[in-house]
Amino acid sequence: MGYGIFRVEKLKTMGNLKGSLKHAFREQDTPNADSRRTLYNIRLTRGTRNSDEVMEKYEQLKPKKIRADQVRALEVLVAMSPEDANRMTEEEQHDFLKRSLEFANKEFGEDNLLHAQIHVDETTPHLTAFYIPRVSKVKNGVSKVMLNAKELLGGRKEYSDRQTRFYEQVSKNYGLERGEVGSKAKHQKISDYYRKVNKFANNVELANVLKEYEELEEIFKDREERVDYMMENFSKAIPYLLATHPKMLEKFGSQEIHQFSETIADLETRINGQDDLLMEFEEIMEKLKSYVELAKKNSEPRKEHSYSYRMGM
């Protein structure tokens, strides 16, 4: 049984925030994401359809004064290991991630939530959420809002306590373990998590890629044969139609013949279009073939993957 993963990363500049948002919204090249599944990602916040709208929301929420050394935002990642994801149903995965967002809101303030969404277009479904680290201070009877990530996150003990709360309130309900309390294992950054998951995916999904390639190859061959058949019969039909043109003209009249000619021209265009489409498809197949060969060359025998996601401190 694996661990529930709850990671928080400080985004120290507006550039860091913007870059992370672009990744979250797939507004930049995201090699580890399947673009065919991106439309199934689930936004959990309203009015934040892209990175620009989130940045506008940030501008509305931020304090008037911000020091140069203050952390601008927090990025939260919640996930499980690929093995745990595979044993869960899709409903269980989504429920785990939504309950994790509720937990994060209690920890960092729902009013501070900038954007959250569930990504399903990568190997392992996961939650990404962004918070502006605002806190309220009362001085001389006056409430003042400021950025203070340190106060929200706390120190080493608070980090460990948060992992325990996450386990008690969320993870254990889905059969996920809490890491060893007091462990000195190094906590990986969110970017390190992505790298590990992608490496795992390259090995696990190689068989699926090979299978998909073989299926596409069969479809291509079948379609190519069909187009060749249509083109051959079309070329045979043209001389016959020309030879019988006078008889057809007497029988149907000029208007019908004109319509028939237009139909023939349309069919010819569509068949040629199919041929062009197949040429394009053939190019895609060649690229896929190159990828498969490269994957075969670089892949290693599959081993048992042990993800030591230590949640404790």
Tens-place pLDDT, residues 104-124: 999 999 999 999 999 999 888
pLDDT digits (tens, 9 = 90+) for 227-256: 665 666 655 555 555 555 555 545 555 555
pLDDT at 285: 61
CA dist 292 → 122, 204, 207, 212 (Å): 19, 14, 10, 10
pLDDT at 296: 56
pLDDT at 46: 92
Question: Mapping DSSP to helix (H, G, I), strand (E, B) and coil, where does residue 141 land?
Answer: coil
Identify the residue with better confidence: 128 or 211: 128
pLDDT digits (tens, 9 = 90+) for 16-58: 999 999 999 999 888 788 888 999 999 999 999 999 999 999 9
pLDDT digits (tens, 9 = 90+) for 74-99: 999 998 888 888 889 999 999 999 99
The answer to whether residue 206 scores a pLDDT higher than 60 is no
Q: Which pair of tokens denotes residue 201?
A: 């995916």
What is the spatial distance between Cα 261 and Cα 302, in angstroms, rounded to a whole number?
60
Half-sphere exposure of 67 (CA within 13 A, CB side): 7
Q: 181, 205, 175: which is closest to 80 by C-alpha?
A: 175
